[in-house]
Amino acid sequence: MTDILDDFMIRALLADVGTALACGALGCFVVWRRMAYFGDAMAHAAILGVALALLFSVSIPFGVLAVALAMGVLVGSLSGSTITSDSLLGVLSHSALALGLVAVSLMPGTRDDLDAYLFGVILVVSRFDLAVIWGGVVCVLAVLAWRWQALLSEILSVDLAYASGLNPKRDSMILTLLIAAVVAVSIKVVGALLITAMLIIPAAAARLIARGPEAMAGFATLFGVIAAIGGLYAARAFGTPAGPSIICFAAAIFCVSVAAAHLRRG
């Protein structure tokens, strides 16, 4: 029994750490560009992706990725003077969430699946799940390394980015793709309701103590990994849900960072 549990814990730990690595640097861009609400919209759309994947018997990450990408493209194409981006995000994200919940409720025997993807089921991560998660991690980190300077230039100044021969619209779409990929690969780890927290909290904690973008990305990744490992073992020790326990651990790290920042200024 112990060997089986240890095998589950090793797979859960690998999935946990992989998710933290994918969320670390990417979460910095979510914080810098104030895209928290956009991240929530992607996470809400993930439930519709789960419902469609179950309906058509395809891979859950594929369904989530497809719907999250559709959400990003729709927001980008419909945002304009007639409706503000936050209003559009609110309409689309909550509509997608409601539609996904209704669709799942109409499919017999899917209630347990819905709970799993709302709150995460990291302790039953399979080898296939690990392959999907780490494949996503490699792709996200590779693209971030490739477009790092371009994405930073766009944050500093869109005009400067254009003057440098960059294409901010294309890079915004790349960022949307990366967020969608992270949502797709991490939904089984922390659940759709908490994916955005995994992106934002470590990055927000890192921002308080880091002195540059690269340092912030490094600290965010480190804090995410610490939260992932600490939360997982806290969940095992106290019998609490793994996903929420990870986020609670991340929130504790954020509180420590706030205190450290105040002490440094004082």
CA dist 216 and 204 (Å) reads: 9
pLDDT at 239: 86
Q: How far is residue 146's CA from residue 124's CA, in Å, rounded to a whole number?
A: 33
Q: What is the pLDDT of residue 107?
A: 77
How far from chain centre, in Å, is Cα 34?
14
Average pLDDT over residues 166-170: 83
Report how far residue 45's alpha carbon sits from residue 47's, in angstroms, rounded to the nearest whole number.
5
Q: For residue 32, what are its two tokens?
A: 């810098």
- Over residues 63-84, the mean pLDDT reads 77
Q: Which residues, at least 6 apart from 2, have a Cβ–Cβ distance to it below 8 Å?
A: none
Question: Which segment of 80-84, 87-91, 177-181, 229-233 scores lowest on mean pLDDT?
Answer: 80-84
**Residue 180 · residue 44 · CB < 8 Å:** no
Crossing angle of helices 111-119/36-56, nearest 10°? 150
Report the distance separating Cα 13 and Cα 232, nearest Å.
Answer: 7
What is this structure's pTM? Answer: 0.89
The answer to whether residue 6 scores a pLDDT higher than 80 is no
SS3 content of the chain, % helix, strand, coil (to 5): 85, 0, 15
Most confident of 78-87, 116-125, 161-170, 226-235: 226-235
Tell me the average pLDDT of the chain. Answer: 85
Asked if 135 contacts 186 with a C-beta cutoff of 8 angstroms, the reply is no
